[in-house]
Structure 1
Amino acid sequence: MSTLEIIETCTRMAWHADQREWDRLETVFADKVTLDYTSLNGGEPAVLTPRQIVDAWSATLGGFDATQHLITNHLVDIDGDRAVCTAAFQATHRLATPHGSPLWTLGGNYRFDLAHTAGGWRITGVVMTATWADGNQNLLALAAARS
């Protein structure tokens, strides 16, 4: 049962972000989360609270007309009250624009670190490794400017 709960927690992260269910998104995270999106943005991983994650993601993703993050091929390793879930993803972002394609799609892998808490499995870390992209990456900046 734990494997399914872990997969559902990781899936809920994407679902709540795509549905703009910001309060529900906050519930999938532990009190402190290490986010590593350096394969896309450079820089260093950041340690954030769930509220900081939601504030950042709503400011960016909220500017798109639609997003769809598909997460698949989950592999789960459980060690007591800790777990690692690796999975493939494809994230499509849509924003109508007079300049260039309205779509930007990114693909790659996620590594989720999770801890079992009194409230269930919670994400303590996310490493997103982008392996390919297609379309208009400028949509990311345009969406952030709209929020």
Structure 2
Amino acid sequence: MKHATFALAILATSANAGQTGDPVTPDTVIDRLELIRIADAIDTAVDAKDWDAARAFFTKEITVDFTSLVGGAPATIPADGLITGWATNLAGEKESFHLRGNHQIAFETPDRAIMHSHGYAWNRMDSGALVDNGGNAMWEVWGTYMHGFERTENGWRVNAMTFSATAERGNTYVRDTPGG
């Protein structure tokens, strides 16, 4: 109990608390920690290519918007399809590293929340360094994420995800080519 009280005190006095999300309160602190854990755990699972672990954090269907990277239109798709797409693109030799911070959470209801965060992603693929493939093994992107969460019988799950790229650099061959 003493550790929970300490964690609550740290979070409640955080300089970021309430800037764009809802203020941290005793009633929401545990849920906030869980939402941040889930978003971070998705990144960790993706980088480890642990697709079953990544899939476990999503509802059956998810509304996704990655149009700032790949064009198209936002869509509601089966979460299995999202994971299959990630697994296909990040296969084999392709490595990834995702980092997130500045989590700002707003609760729409006690069982629905929106989290905004800053994100960075890096992909590396040796074949990208070949002259015919662009001559650079790396691609990286910065931007903002929006995760929609809903509380289910199995706990909090992500039901929506948007990435809005603000900058990118490197070889788009690495971004666009499955690792194989």
Q: What range describes the TM-score normalised by the shorter chain of this pair?
A: over 0.9
Instruction: Determine the structure 1 residue equivalent to 2:155.
Output: 120
1:72-107, CA deviations, whole angstroms, 9 ceiling, x for partnerless residues? 110011231000010000100000121211110100
In the superposition, relative to structure 1, how do residues 133 and 63 fare at CA in structure 2: closer, same or farther (>3 Å)?
farther
Gaps of 5+ in 1: none
Using the aligned pairs only, state the percent identity: 28
Shift of 1:47: 1.3
Instruction: Determine the structure 1 residue equivalent to 2:111.
Output: 81
Instruction: Determine the structure 2 residue equivalent to 1:23.
Output: 52
Instruction: Determine the structure 2 residue equivalent to 1:38.
Output: 67
Asked if 2 retains the 8 angstrom alpha-carbon contact of 1:64 and 1:93, the reply is no
Q: Secondary structure at the match of 1:138?
A: helix
Q: Secondary structure at the match of 1:105?
A: strand
| TM-score, structure 2 as length reference | 0.77
Instruction: Determine the structure 1 residue equivalent to 2:88.
Output: 59
Gaps of 5+ in 2: 1-29
Q: Which moved more, 1:91-100 or 1:59-68?
A: 59-68
Shift of 1:140: 2.2
Alpha-carbon separation, structure 2, partners of 1:86 and 1:131: 14
| TM-score, structure 1 as length reference | 0.94
Alpha-carbon separation, structure 1, partners of 2:73 and 2:154: 30
Alpha-carbon separation, structure 2, partners of 1:62 and 1:16: 13
Asked if 2 retains the 8 angstrom alpha-carbon contact of 1:12 and 1:25, the reply is yes
One-letter amino acid matched to 1:111? M
Asked if 2 retains the 8 angstrom alpha-carbon contact of 1:15 and 1:69, the reply is yes
Shift of 1:63: 4.3
Alpha-carbon separation, structure 1, partners of 2:103 and 2:150: 17
Q: Which structure dedicates a bigger proportion of its chain to strand?
A: 1
Count of equivalent residues: 145
Instruction: Determine the structure 1 residue equivalent to 2:11.
Output: none
Larger Rg: 2
**CA root-mean-square deviation:** 1.2
1:85-133, CA deviations, whole angstroms, 9 ceiling, x for partnerless residues? 1000010000012121111010000000000111111000001000000
Task: For CA contacts below 8 A with separation 6 or more, give which structure has more relative contact order.
Answer: 1
